[in-house]
Chains A and B, each alone.
Chain A
Amino acid sequence: MIKNKMGALAAASALALGLAACGSSSSSGSSSSTAAKTTSATISGAGSTFAAPVYEQWGSELSSSGLTVNYQPVGSGAGITSLEAKTVDFGASDPPLKAADEAAIGKNGSPAVQVPMFLGAITVSYNVPGLKAGLKLDGTTIADIFLGTIKTWNDAAIKALNPGVNLPSTPITVIHRSDSSGTTAGFTGFLSSVDPEWKSKVGEGKTVAWPTGTGEKGNAGVAGGVQQTTGAVGYVEQAYALEHHFTYASVKNASGKFVEPTLESTSAAAEGITVPANLGIKIKNPSAPSAYPITSQTFVVVNKDLCKAGIPGGEGAAKGVVRFLDYGLGEGQAILSKADYAALPSAILTKSKEAVAGLQCNGASLGGV
């Protein structure tokens, strides 16, 4: 009896020690490198959950050259607050900075710089048996569906946009996000810009008072809800919809064309938009002919002079952040398509690179791209 108990205890300790041994050998391994840049540094960031998989992917690509990226997906709002409080080296936000946040970050001793990094689309995904992908919808119809005025799939408005398609009489179940998110902001932003009724009744924002429908938490929740319910429609992030092969609609853009949410049409959405001086772009019902209209952007936010602002990682982290951004705006853009995210169009990409080139450490340029 005693032997059994001691044996159990010994086995447990052995397991823990074994794991620990593996641990110590691998953590020393991460600092060795074979690439040209061998300075090892660790940078920390926090913010957007939408961008998290991409930043982690870039981080994993850079780890072989000694750069460790630690990223917290706490949400855009909390990410900006973390940057203001100097608990991280960079912040990540989907919506552009509000004036108050810009000022708060600037208080750290150096003005805020927001760098557009990449784009993502929001699909209108549905689950109607017999209905294939590419159902044509326009902004007003989508707004009416989410307002609850259009209640069945064979409604006249949908029929008018899709002549020749056999629409069932299944009732529509609306699924929306229950948690605050940039995806909601992007979707409601689109609806507000194309449908005055939506704008006055509901408006836009990360959280809104939905007139109808069921709330589910996260993209996974909405996706699951749509898959579980016949006749359901919901708004799902593009990466999600593409990865899981959802059925999504073709949405009418400002030029009158019905466009599917492909990576190309998403990138096209940012072409020709006005870029404010602080690079705080906001894609709202874009006018490019091949643009997918429900598209949003994401930024990395830093102080212009990182060292002067007193980021926790110090000078090493400042250099590391620039390396990270250089990579992301360079080779990183090529990886995006593999991940079902859309790259920036060249005009905006150039501006982003210029912004990174302007980053400094205590006055000395950090020499971006």
Chain B
Amino acid sequence: MEATPLASSGRSIVGRPLLARLPDRILKYGLSALSALILVLIVYFFFRLIGQARPAFEKEGVLGFVFGNNWDVGAEHFGALPLLVGTLITSGVALLIGVPVAVAAAVYVTELCPLRLRGGLTVLIELLAAVPSVVYGLWGIFFLAPKLQPAEQWLADRLSFIPFVGGGLVTIPNYFVAGLVLATMILPIVSAISREVMATVPPDHKEAALALGATRWEMIRMAVLPYCRSGIVGGAMLGLGRAIGEAIAVAIVIGDAPKLGHQLFAQGYSLAAAIVNEFGEAQGVHRSALFAAGLVLFVLTLIVNAIARLLVARAARTGGGRGGVENAAAGGQVIGGAAAGA
């Protein structure tokens, strides 16, 4: 041990005795071991599920299973493309509707809301997470879907020139209702995380923008949202995970039509819904096909997450992300210039 002026007090990091370094070592290696254990567990999970799914892949071939356009249980022919497309459609609708609404609610609660309402509103939105998926499904099919059907039929008739949306018969259970129910289910997650993230924006960033003359909305746009971008995306990814993997609620409101989804207001199917609908009675190859559908879901989540991370990383590199101060400064110049010119 080198003798430094602070060594005797034991405070110097460099000269600290071994015993004092021990807790740090324990924590570091303990947590590393824990993370390694989790990694091993997850890999083992996939390994076992791949084992269960193998018979289906052997029968159809991996590409044949994923991109085959024919899910026929009776004929024991399993091509999961209609299911995959159905999952994409419903999750897409869920994200398109759910994320903006959730972020708007988070913005309101953190920035615009009167202080007294803040706690109550927060709890109210997060309470949505407490509702069991079965209840979402039943509420969807017995309350929401019938009420929406006339409006959907009207939309389909008026917008019949738009290929995916318009034209055709509107059934009560359909992709759109499923997407809407999913949007409601992911609201609490996305909103809660966005809210937490927005609450940590340093006040100086916000005050700097305001001091430069920004309106409330401009301040939010320049100082809050860019700072929170990666956090919001993280929350959205968790929400997307929920949307992709949600089984029971979707199974109840989507009808069962394993045909390629060509219309928003028609009934359809999704990967997770197929698993929950068919597993109880499935045997043999059918069963392993359902496990294989589960694997397709993992890969899908993987791809979407990877794309999201890329987008966030790129935004951070080009000066977005947490560079709120720079943005505020740049915005201030614009405002000053506009004011000067007015």
A77 interfacial by beta-carbon distance below 8 Å: yes
Establish whether residues A215 and B73, one from each chain, have CB atoms under 8 Å apart when the complex forms: no
Establish whether residues B172 and A228, one from each chain, have CB atoms under 8 Å apart when the complex forms: yes
A-side interface residues toward B, CB under 8 Å? 49, 74-78, 80-81, 98, 100-101, 176-182, 202-210, 214-217, 221, 224-225, 228-229
Establish whether residues B279 and A214, one from each chain, have CB atoms under 8 Å apart when the complex forms: no
> In the complex, which of the residues B279, B280, B283 has the most CB atoms of chain A within 10 Å of its own CB atom?
B280
Establish whether residues B278 and A207, one from each chain, have CB atoms under 8 Å apart when the complex forms: yes
Establish whether residues B280 and A215, one from each chain, have CB atoms under 8 Å apart when the complex forms: no
**Interface members, chain B 85-135 (any A CB < 8 Å):** none
B251 interfacial by beta-carbon distance below 8 Å: yes
Q: Which residues of B contact A217 (CB under 8 A)?
A: 137, 141, 251-252, 256, 277
A354 to B278, CA, bound (A): 35
* Known interface pairs A81-B283, A205-B73; A221-B277 also in contact (CB < 8 Å): no
Establish whether residues B172 and A180, one from each chain, have CB atoms under 8 Å apart when the complex forms: no
Establish whether residues A214 and B251, one from each chain, have CB atoms under 8 Å apart when the complex forms: no
Q: Which residues of A contact B284 (CB under 8 A)?
A: 100
B321 to chain A, nearest CB (A): 39
A190 to chain B, nearest CB (A): 16
The one of B74, B171, B257, B280 that contacts A74, using a Cβ cutoff of 8 Å: B280
Establish whether residues A203 and B277, one from each chain, have CB atoms under 8 Å apart when the complex forms: no
B142 interfacial by beta-carbon distance below 8 Å: yes
Establish whether residues B279 and A178, one from each chain, have CB atoms under 8 Å apart when the complex forms: no
A209 to B171, CA, bound (A): 17
Interface pairs A-B: 7 shortest CB-CB: A75-B280, A178-B256, A215-B256, A180-B281, A179-B277, A77-B281, A207-B73
Q: Which residues of B contact A76 (CB under 8 A)?
A: 280-281
B151 interfacial by beta-carbon distance below 8 Å: no
A316 to chain B, nearest CB (A): 29
23 A-B Cβ contacts within 8 A?
A: A75-B279, A75-B281, A76-B280, A77-B279, A80-B283, A81-B283, A178-B251, A178-B254, A178-B277, A180-B278, A181-B281, A182-B281, A205-B73, A206-B73, A207-B73, A207-B74, A207-B278, A207-B281, A215-B256, A217-B137, A217-B141, A221-B141, A229-B172
Q: Which residues of A contact B252 (CB under 8 A)?
A: 217, 221
Q: Which residues of B contact A210 (CB under 8 A)?
A: 256
A225 to chain B, nearest CB (A): 7
Q: Which residues of B contact A214 (CB under 8 A)?
A: 171-173, 255, 267
B277 to chain A, nearest CB (A): 4
Establish whether residues A178 and B280, one from each chain, have CB atoms under 8 Å apart when the complex forms: no
Q: Which residues of B contact A49 (CB under 8 A)?
A: 280
B62 interfacial by beta-carbon distance below 8 Å: no
A193 to B73, CA, bound (A): 20
B150 interfacial by beta-carbon distance below 8 Å: no
Q: Which residues of B contact A101 (CB under 8 A)?
A: 283
Q: Which residues of B contact A80 (CB under 8 A)?
A: 283
B72 interfacial by beta-carbon distance below 8 Å: yes
Q: Which residues of A contact B258 (CB under 8 A)?
A: 209
B30 interfacial by beta-carbon distance below 8 Å: no
The one of B72, B142, B146, B276 that contacts A209, using a Cβ cutoff of 8 Å: B72
- Chain B 66-91 per-residue mask, 1 if CB under 8 angstroms from chain A, else 0: 00000011100000000000000000
Q: Which residues of A contact B255 (CB under 8 A)?
A: 178, 214-216
B282 interfacial by beta-carbon distance below 8 Å: yes
Establish whether residues B173 and A216, one from each chain, have CB atoms under 8 Å apart when the complex forms: yes
The one of A78, A98, A207, A215 that contacts B257, using a Cβ cutoff of 8 Å: A215
B134 to chain A, nearest CB (A): 10
* Known interface pairs A216-B173, A228-B172; A203-B279 also in contact (CB < 8 Å): no
Q: Which residues of B contact A207 (CB under 8 A)?
A: 73-74, 277-278, 281
**Interface members, chain B 139-164 (any A CB < 8 Å):** 141-142, 146
Establish whether residues B73 and A78, one from each chain, have CB atoms under 8 Å apart when the complex forms: no
The one of B72, B141, B282 that contacts A180, using a Cβ cutoff of 8 Å: B282
A172 to B334, CA, bound (A): 64
